[in-house]
Chain A
Amino acid sequence: MSIGTVADVAAGVLVLTGALLALTAGIGVARLGDVLDRMHAATKPATLGLVLVVAGAVLRVSDLADATKLVLVVVLQFLTAPVGAHLIGRAALRSGAPHEPFVLDERAGDGQAEGELPDQGR
């Protein structure tokens, strides 16, 4: 078994696992109950799935420039996914989107209902 065959089999396993993780993200977004649950489903499995698929693609492409572009996409995703999720979650809470009651709500004691927070840093 040559090294090329091993790389192809590894790439196939990685691509398949990543695509199934992305499918999990889609199922979660369609099935879960409120915005924060759906964000949980949308960000983590989708990012890990993208990383796995890109790792499989890096094993398959022959050009170094193509491999660099693929790795750059993963770096961009790691930089932007947490920031985007934070922005969406904050906007959802402040706009009063419905959610299940929190176990611990650190803002509950200051006499302000959700969605009526003072605008900070704007």
Chain B
Amino acid sequence: MSAVAGVALGALALGAALTFVRLLRGPTLADRIVASDLLLTFLVTGAAVDAARTGAGTYLEPMLVVAVLGFLGTSVLARFLEGRGP
């Protein structure tokens, strides 16, 4: 299981790095909102991979908090974007 978890965490890290490239390059604010939302999804997925690796629920409460706050941040940024323009 730990080898599988290593490969899975590597794939998640690569995907998060690609998403971070999009977060830096933009070009519009909507692209950056999509990228930051996806980065938080990667964080939640990584916490789930860690729970599968260890069989213990160490990071499960932060995982819940990040899932809720990620949606809140995305909604607020989308409202801000509608008022402001690209």
Contact = CB atoms under 8 A, between A and B. Distances in A.
Interface of A: 8, 11-12, 15-16, 18-20, 22-27, 29-30, 35, 38-39, 42, 46-47, 49-50, 53-54, 56-57, 59-63, 65-66, 69-70, 72-73, 76-77, 80, 83-84, 87-88, 90-92, 94-98, 115
Interface string B4-31: 1101110110111111011000001111
Interface of B: 1, 4-5, 7-9, 11-12, 14-19, 21-22, 28-31, 33-35, 37-38, 41-42, 44-45, 48-49, 51-53, 55-57, 60-61, 63-64, 67-68, 70-71, 74-75, 78-79, 81-82, 84-86
Nearest to A54: B48
A26 B29 CA distance: 18
B30 A97 contact: yes
Given A60-B51, A70-B60, A84-B74, A25 B15 contact: yes
A19 B22 contact: no
Contact of B82 (A69, A73, A84, A94): A94
Contacts of A115: 85
Contacts of A38: 22, 31, 34-35
A54 B44 CA distance: 10
B60 A92 contact: no
Contacts of B17: 26
A50 B44 contact: yes
A29 B38 contact: yes
Counting from the closest, the 7 A-B pairs by CB-CB distance are A26-B15, A66-B57, A19-B8, A92-B30, A80-B71, A87-B78, A30-B18
B15 A50 contact: no
B75 A76 contact: no
Contact of B7 (A19, A35, A53, A94): A19
B64 A76 contact: yes
B37 A84 contact: yes
